[in-house]
Every structure is written in structure tokens, then in C-alpha cells.
Amino acid sequence: MEPEGKREKATFAAGCFWGVEAAFRGIPGVTETQVGYTGGQTTLPTYEQVCMDRTGHAEAVEVTFDPEKVSFAELLRIFWQIHDPTTPNRQGPDVGSQYRSAIFTHSDEQKRVAEESRAALDRSGRFRRPVVTEIVPAQAFWRAEEYHQRYLEKHGRASCHL
């Protein structure tokens, strides 16, 4: 991952954050990723609190990217491919609002592009059920505990349901 160039942030929730982070880490133009919690009410939530589905947070990935090398629209394309955006509060065997499908936007432009992308996906017929991904303004992002960062690089793909 190259650090030079302009930087923007994108934040995605699509189930277990380990696999979501791994999907974005190898994309040319992505300069950094970190897993954490966003969209909830608790300050400094822990993994245990979020897993109890009582804080309102989603497991999420904050992606830092160079928009001259990869567009937000391209990141959305990847986001739609790596999970089922039609299952509310669930991805595979993981159940709870912490596993919801969500895009946390960092600008009006990201909101516009995300809404257009979601509508196009819904119209495409790719899924039998409606897309339920929420699109909301980015809130405080709480970095997850260090052992969660780059988890699949440390432990292998067999550790994740994605």
C-alpha cells in the first residue's frame, strides 16, 4: 500500500470485519485499512460489548484511499460483491445488528454515489430480495483491539465466514 497522493476515507460494514478488511487491503489505491466499530451510542466500545449487540455499533472497516488511483464507486463495486446486502442484521452465520450492511458516508458526494449505486443494484435483478444496506453519515469510528487488525493475514482465511 502506497502512502503518497491525495487521501479520502470510506467506511463499510458488511458482516465480520476480518474478511471485509482483507477484501479491501489488496486494492491498488487503498493506502490503509483498519477495523473497528461505528454507528452506535457507546463511547470506546469493546469487542465484547459490540458482540452482545447492545451498543448499536456495526463491525466496520475504515478504508483510506487515493481517489486518483481508485474511485469511491469502485470501492462500492467491491463492497457489493463481498456480502449479501439483502439480509438485515445478518451475514452468513453471524446474526445481530453489529453485522448489518451499511455505508457510512464521509461527504455529500459519497452519499450521492452510494445511493445511486444501491438503487442501480436493486434494479439490476441480481438479488431476489430488496437491498437493505443503510447509507448514513459517518460517525465516530472506534478502532478495534489490535488483535483484530489484519486478522486474516495473521490467522488465515479459515478463521472467517466470508
CATH of the domain at 104: 3.30.1060.10
pLDDT value of residue 154? 74
pLDDT value of residue 150? 74
- Residue 44 falls inside a structural domain: yes
Question: How many structural domains are present in the chain?
Answer: 1
Q: Which long-range contacts (CB under 8 A, 24 or more apart) does 127-131 make?
A: 127/84, 127/85, 127/86, 128/86, 129/86, 129/87, 130/86, 131/85, 131/86
pLDDT value of residue 4? 58
Sign of CA dihedral 62, 63, 64, 67: negative
Residues 52-61: tens digit of each pLDDT: 988 999 999 9
Full domain range(s) for residue 58: 8-153
CA dihedral 6, 81, 62, 158 (to 10 degrees): -130
- Residue 148 falls inside a structural domain: yes
pLDDT value of residue 40? 95
pLDDT value of residue 146? 72
Give catalytic residues, as residue numbers: 16
